[in-house]
Structure 1
Amino acid sequence: MSGDPATLAADLLARARAAGVRVATAESCTGGLVAGAITEVAGSSDIFDCGFVTYSNAAKERMLGVRAETLAAHGAVSEEVAREMAEGALARSAATRAVSITGIAGPGGSEFKPEGRVCFALARPGAPTLTLTRDFGAIGRADVRRASVAEALSLLIASL
């Protein structure tokens, strides 16, 4: 999803405030940029509960409850891990929406998990967790991260 993260974050704030929704983030390859985009907007404390930056697999397990078996079977860059990250963030916060991101911002990657592949999940109470994968391509680390932030914010907005 394209869009300016600042504009998307302001839109999220207005919509989540109107809906009485609180948000949590679980980030790997974006290193807290989604939480940063949200909290850049004045008044974000009305909707933002917390963010988890879980760059290592050990942190994903320890902080979010991602299962070692899931990591071993699918790797960190997978919809399965994104799902467990989002569900873990939802369970470990006062949020009613949690978004997660795990991917390969670059440089690097492999034939099976190329640079620019990012997996997302959106969890909310009483609904199935949504997962999706975006292949942004080898557009450079900063642009993959920027596109990932926009996608995550768009997922949160769409859930409202």
Structure 2
Amino acid sequence: MTAADRAELARRVIEEAGARGLTLAVAESLTGGLLADAFVSIPGASRVLVGGVVAYDTALKHTLLGVDHELLRRRGPVDGEVARQMAAGVRRACAVPRRGSTAAPTAIGVATTGVAGPDPDPQTGQPAGTVWVAVSAGAVERQRLLDLDGDRATIRAAAVTAAIELLVECLEPGSASSTP
């Protein structure tokens, strides 16, 4: 996928979430801010994007995002349930009232965690290219395992694309698992 294609998908997320009055928050590990940047690059992103957390260190996944400590100890940071809890955690952390409203908006959380490489992760032993992306949006929670090839930059870019694609799927009107 080209950078222009990725930008078009990010634009679709911003437009659809904005039309529904939803906000978006991102939790990133291996992508280190690239996912947030994909949205910030879109004019009008401030209507939807409320913030994000780069929890590169495993301990931050617990302390800032509320990922279960025992889960991290047992499975490590590169895990589908960890990604899901990261998405739910950033959703909670960034669900703040906007523009004079007293009610917190419905937020969507999206997360990335994985191994960008070039070598296997020393903490988990998982190979480079093992990536999880997740979305948390109320009753809708999805996670997806990716097995990516390429160098560090290629893996990180592909993880961003996959996270945005998962958001698009969750936001599609008429989808059986579409967000509120």
Deviations 1:66-104 (A, max 9, x none): 122111111100002111111111111125211110000
Q: Which runs of structure 2 are paired with 1:11-160 in the superposition (5 Å)? A: 11-94=12-95, 96-109=107-120, 113-125=126-138, 127-137=139-149, 139-160=150-171
TM superposition score normalised by structure 2: 0.82
Which letter does structure 2 place at the counterpart of 1:132?
R
Task: State, as a whole percentage, how many aligned pairs show the same letter.
Answer: 38
What are the superposed Cα offsets for residues 4-23 of structure 1, whole Å, 9 maximum, x if unpaired?
32222112112222222211
Q: For this pair of structures, how many residues does the alignment match?
A: 157
Tell me, in whole angstroms, the C-alpha distance in 2 between the residues paired with 1:151 and 1:21: 20
Query: Highest relative contact order (Cα 8 Å, sep 6+), 1 or 2?
Result: 1
| 2:118 aligned counterpart, secondary structure | coil
2:23 corresponds to which letter in structure 1? R
Q: Give how far 1:128 is off.
A: 4.4
Secondary structure of 1:158's match? Answer: helix
SS at match of 1:55: coil
* TM-superposition CA deviations, 1:112-150 (whole Å, max 9, x none): 62110101111011x14211101012x110011111111
Aligned partners of 1:112, 1:56: CA distance in 2, in Å? 16
Check the 8 A contact 2:52/2:94 in 1, yes or no: no
Question: Between Structure 1 and Structure 2, whose CA radius of gyration is higher?
Answer: 2
TM-score normalized with structure 1 length: 0.91
Equivalent position SS for 2:56: coil
Amino acid of the residue matched to residue 137 of structure 2? R
Distance between the aligned counterparts of 2:8 and 2:154, measured in 1?
A: 17
Cα RMSD (Å) of the superposition?
Answer: 1.6
Deviation at 1:59, TM superposition (A): 1.1
CA contact (8 A) 1:74 1:80 kept: no
User: Which residues of structure 1 form unaligned runs of 5+?
Assistant: none
Q: Secondary structure at the match of 2:167?
A: helix
Runs (4+) off by over 4 Å: none
